[in-house]
Structures are given as structure tokens and as C-alpha cells.
Amino acid sequence: MRGVGISARNFGEQGNCAGNDGCVNLRRKEDLAERKTVAHTRTQPATLAPEALGPVTPEEAVLLKKLDLARLPRHIAVIMDGNGRWAQKRHLLRVAGHRAGTQSARTTIETCARLHVEALTLYAFSVENWRRPKAEIEFLMQLLRDYLRKEMPLLQRNNVRMRFLGRPEELPAGVQKDTREATEETARNTGMVLSIALNYGGRAEIVDAMNAILMERNGHGGTQPVTEELLARHLYTAELPDPDLLIRTSGEMRVSNFLLWQIAYAEIFVTETLWPDFNRARLLEALLDFQKRERRYGGIDSERGRLHGRRGRTFDFPWTMESGEEWVGVCVDGESRGRVRSKEKR
């Protein structure tokens, strides 16, 4: 297994620097510096007894000892890829891979819930997946319905609140009913929010958000621009923090139209492990890799200090031009934008 680092509508709930080349854009995403602090300040202990996750393997026990619970991601998103290849390697039908993948989903959900991760989003079925053979699509829809019925006790036991992201009106009536009921049955739970991206597409989500804004304005929006904050409030994931960690199995180096807006600052972990083989140890490895990352949100780390876009503060920072010459500038961040007030060649 090789890990590679590269430094979503809810079914149940429905600065201008132009003309100034010296402007440094420090765009704020819900006060990224504040979110960074929140993500790394938790009331739970910094270590976890293996018993908290139930029986563990020796490998998992070693990984758990290294895990710092104070620095877990708030929101983990997973592209569950490799079911077909897993089946092909074993000379089985593709559907066998999909069925085997449900165990990985179960393990990931339960582990994240017991680690008190705030949100987990799984990419189950994209808007592009309708191009697959009809028989495979029908199997996937029935597999989802069976999974919801079978796993509901697990979700309730772990206090998980369930949501579905995407376009529900295009799904079979039976699937719509089951997803609606699952959302309602877990609505009172107060633990981890489990989002299943179903008939989901990142581009479609942004289009839906813009259409929702236009409908709200109903032609009376005037010339008021659409801001990032306004658009974010109309996304499927409006009530969730953006993902801190995006995991992709099977080694593919692409995001596949998944949470395109939300993963702007996510850390990406790609593993060669196929989804049906993605067990708890592989999940813990991804979390440990995440904890090794230094998250700057577009800021600059240097010997003279860090630039992270905190409001109302001034930062000195040096940088090196492509020519190799080093320059120094001063950035003042007042309205989530910074301006280089002076440059002088060193």
C-alpha cells in the first residue's frame, strides 16, 4: 500500500484588487485561521484506548498509540474507488466488489464515529454513474436499500445522523423513500454527521446553488454580486465544515467531480488500496499522514513569521522571485484581503 499526499442538496433537509499588481489576496473561508484552531482543540484525550474501538489487530493498536485525538480532521470525505478492479482480480463479477465494499464502509463509519470525527462524507453514486450498465445500476440501488435497513441499528448505536447529498428527484421512488426515512430516523442523533453523496456531482451542486439563489431573488437581486459566503450557504453541505481530509482509494490521482467547492483547502491522501481492502488500519494511516501536514490555507511560513490571513493584523514576509532574487513585503489584512504596501530588493 502506498499513500500519496497532495499539499456537496441534502435529501432530508432541503474584495477588489483590480488594477493593483501589489495586492495579495488573503481570502477568508469562514475565518480559516479560526477554523484551524477549532479543528485542533478538542476536549477528548490526546490518546485513545484500543478498547474504545472494540477488538483491534496488533497493527491497529500501534497506529492508535501514535494518533493524536486533539488533531483529527473535523470532516473526512472519501472517494470509494476500486470495487470493480477488486472483483476483476478475483475473477468475480463487478457486483461482488460492490458488495464487499459495504464492509469497508461499515468499518470507516463506525471508526470515525467512535473517534468523534464531526462529519464523514462518502461518495456512493455520481451523476455520471448513470452511464453504467442498467443491471449494475439496479444492483447498486438495491444494495443501498439493503444496506440502510441492515445498518440502521449500527448508526443508531453510534449516535450517527444521516444525510444524503445530490439530486433525489432523479432516483427511483423506492430509494427516495428509504433515504428519506433514514434521514428522519436519525435526525435526533447528536453524533457524527454521515453524508452519502448519491446521484451527486460537484458541478451540478454549484449549478443548483446558483439556481437557488436566482429563485430567491426572483429577479429582484439588482446588481448585488454573488459572494462566496452566499453561494456556500446554498450548497448541499451548507451546515457542515468543509472537508479537512479527502481520501481516495485505488491510486487514481483525480477528484472525480466530488465536492469541488468544498475541498479547496483539503489535504488529499491517495492510497493504492482498493476500497474493499480499505480496513481500519488503512484509515488510521490516512489520519496519521494528515497529522503530519502543515496546513497554511494559502499563507506563507518563514523564519520571520507566518501569514495566515487573520483579520486586523500586519505581517512581514520574505519571498523569492523566479529569478532567484529575494524580496520583502508588508501585508495588511483588514477585510480578508492584504495589500503589499512596499517592496524593496534585498
**Distance in angstroms (rounded) separating the CA atoms of residues 230 and 210:** 9
**Distance in angstroms (rounded) separating the CA atoms of residues 56 and 54:** 6
The DSSP code sequence of 71-133 is G--SEEEEE---HHHHHHHTT--HHHHHHHHHHHHHHHHHHHHHTT-SEEEEEEEEGGGGGS-
In the residue annotation, 129 being an active-site residue is answered as: yes
In the residue annotation, 178 being an active-site residue is answered as: no
The candidate with the shortest Cα–Cα distance to 260, out of 274, 281, 249, 246, is 246
Half-sphere exposure (CA, 13 Å, Cβ side) for 59? 7
In the three-class reduction of DSSP (H, G, I as helix; E, B as strand; rest coil), residue 182 is classed as helix
* Dihedral pair phi/psi, residue 179, rounded to 5°: -70, -35
For the four alpha carbons of 252, 258, 260 and 264, in that order, the dihedral sign comes to negative
One-letter amino acid identity for 57?
T
- Candidate list 16, 20, 25, 81, residue with the active-site label: 81
- Candidate list 16, 21, 25, 129, residue with the active-site label: 129
Catalytic residue numbers, as ranges: 81, 129
